[in-house]
Structure 1
Amino acid sequence: MAFLDLDGLRCHVQRLAPSDGRPPAATAVLVHGLLTDSLASYYFTLAPALAAAGLEVLMYDQRGHGRSERPPTGYRLEQFVDDLGTLLDRSRPAGPVHLLGNSFGGTVSFGLAAERPDEVCSILAIESEPASPAWAAKLDDILRRAEAQLRHEETLAWVTQRHGAHTARLARSAGRLLAGTTLARDIPASLLPTEAELRAIRCPVLAVYGTESDLAEQADLLDELLPSCRSCFVPGQEHSVLVEAPDTVLELTLSWLREQGTELRGPAAGELCPGRYAGRFADRIIHTRESVR
């Protein structure tokens, strides 16, 4: 276990080197979502296979989450973006940097790409969207309802019965985060990037959605907003695509990294045929949509 000081924030970081001991072909920076998420969602899904494919893998618990410090205030989006930028400055990742963001982690990744376009080679956003006034209003509603509901034992008992003890533990931790910090009020009050700043993001973007997710409806908007964006859809999945369909997300990720010029190695690299989403998992995704201008 390692910790870095990110301008006063004690941040839990995990770093995986390529499994074969050779220099990394590139770096994958894995950014998790809000409340019930942590770097563990990547550690037990994508991270080991990406290291086996020859990448350096950089994961961290965002402020207030996992084993990172939980300050009482300071949870606006721009502070999460600054944390990611400082992490890259402190870590000095090897080779091109590819950001993989799950849910809110994708929003943070878009924010960094808008601020530091020369440092981000590509973004793979899983069930995510860039920050906007509509995003802030939606998060305001979600966080206020979560703050009100997760303080009640009957809610946690319902979560245990419906989703199991592990999910209930995550929900209880999320309730403590909301009760002990200003996160629920800070996120909606974030300094949002302008549409012009988002349109200036030039790196390639792959947006992955579950077909049953509400976010899938915004695919056309995102494809129109970003200069080089492709959307793809995992059938039968809702918001938890990463943990519910990790093999499909992994294969999409490996194919995407290869398409960006990353020379993958090891057993995972040989599982996919060259080309865009070809091979044995083609029947597990719906066609992609691409917008390149």
Structure 2
Amino acid sequence: MAFLDLDGLRLHVQRLGPQDGRPPAATAVLLHGLLTDSLASHYFTLAPALAAAGVEVLMYDQRGHGRTGRPPSGYRLEDFVDDLAGLLDRLAGDGPVHLLGNSFGGTVAFSLAARRPARVAGILAVESEPASPAWAAKLDGILRRAETELADESTLAWVAAQRGAHTARLARSAGRLLAGTSLARDIPASRLPTEAQLRAIRCPVLAVYGTESDLADQAAWLEELLPRCRSTFVPGQEHSVLVEAPGTVLDLTLAWLREHGAPLRGPAARVGQDLEGSLR
């Protein structure tokens, strides 16, 4: 476990890398989603296998989440993007990196690519979308509802009964985050990238959706918006693709990294090689 100070924010960072002493095949930064998510969702799914394939993996708890500091304010999208940019400047050298974003983590990745395109080799976005006025309005409704519901003990009791104690603990932590910070008001008030800035993103993008997710309907729009975007769909899944189908997401990630020049190695590399053709 390590902590990085970024302008007064104590950022919890985990770093996994190749164990064979050879230079990394690529650098991947894994970005988690809002409220109930943390770097743990990547640590227990993609990260170890990526490191075993020769990838330098950086993960961190986004502001307000996990073991990272929880300031009372400062939760606009641009604040999250500033954190990512600062992390890259401190820990990832000068070259471009691959960004793997789950849900809101993908939104942060798209925004960094719009701001600093030379820093981004590619984006793999799982159940995610770029920030837009429609995105801000949707998040406003979701966060306002969550702020009310997660403060209600009867709601938390229902979550525990229906989804288990672990999910209930995550929901309770999310409720504390919303109650103790300005996040629910800051996110909808974020400074959004313009459509022209998004259209200027030229790095390759793989958008992964669950077939049963509401976001799957945006695939054609995103492919039209981003000139190098391609979509793939995980059958039978809703929004929690990473948690519910981690093996599939890992296989897609390895194949995508190989396709874009990462010389993967070890047993996992064979999986990426086998699937690479199916992504073309």
Same fold (TM over 0.5): yes
Residues 84, 202 of structure 1: CA spacing in aligned structure 2 closer, same or farther, 3 A cutoff?
Answer: same
2:39 and 2:111 mapped to 1: Cα distance?
19
Aligned residues: 280
Asked if 2 retains the 8 angstrom alpha-carbon contact of 1:156 and 1:168, the reply is yes
- Report 1:118-267 matches (<5 A): 118-267=118-267
Amino acid at match of 2:148: A
Amino acid at match of 2:34: L
Deviates more, 1:17-26 or 1:248-257: 17-26
SS at match of 1:19: coil
Unaligned runs of 5+ in 1: 279-287
2:29 and 2:268 mapped to 1: Cα distance?
18
Find the counterpart in structure 2 of residue 11 from structure 1: 11
Q: Could you report, residue by residue, the CA deviation over 1:245-280 in whole angstroms, capped at 9, with x for unpaired residues? A: 0000000000000000000001111234456354xx
4+ residue runs over 2 A deviation = 92-96, 271-278
Q: CA deviation at 1:122?
A: 0.2
Asked if 1 retains the 8 angstrom alpha-carbon contact of 2:139 and 2:188, the reply is yes
1:254 and 1:91 mapped to 2: Cα distance?
23
Q: CA deviation at 1:72?
A: 0.1
1:120 and 1:192 mapped to 2: Cα distance?
19
Asked if 1 retains the 8 angstrom alpha-carbon contact of 2:252 and 2:275, the reply is no
Asked if 2 retains the 8 angstrom alpha-carbon contact of 1:27 and 1:95, the reply is no
Residues 96, 26 of structure 1: CA spacing in aligned structure 2 closer, same or farther, 3 A cutoff?
Answer: farther
- Report 1:24-103 matches (<5 A): 24-93=24-93, 96-103=96-103
Asked if 2 retains the 8 angstrom alpha-carbon contact of 1:259 and 1:275, the reply is no
Q: TM-score scaled to structure 1, two decimals?
A: 0.93
As a proportion of its length, which structure holds more helix? Answer: 2
SS at match of 1:121: strand
Q: CA deviation at 1:22?
A: 1.5
Amino acid at match of 1:183: L
Identity within the alignment, %: 79
Asked if 1 retains the 8 angstrom alpha-carbon contact of 2:97 and 2:121, the reply is yes
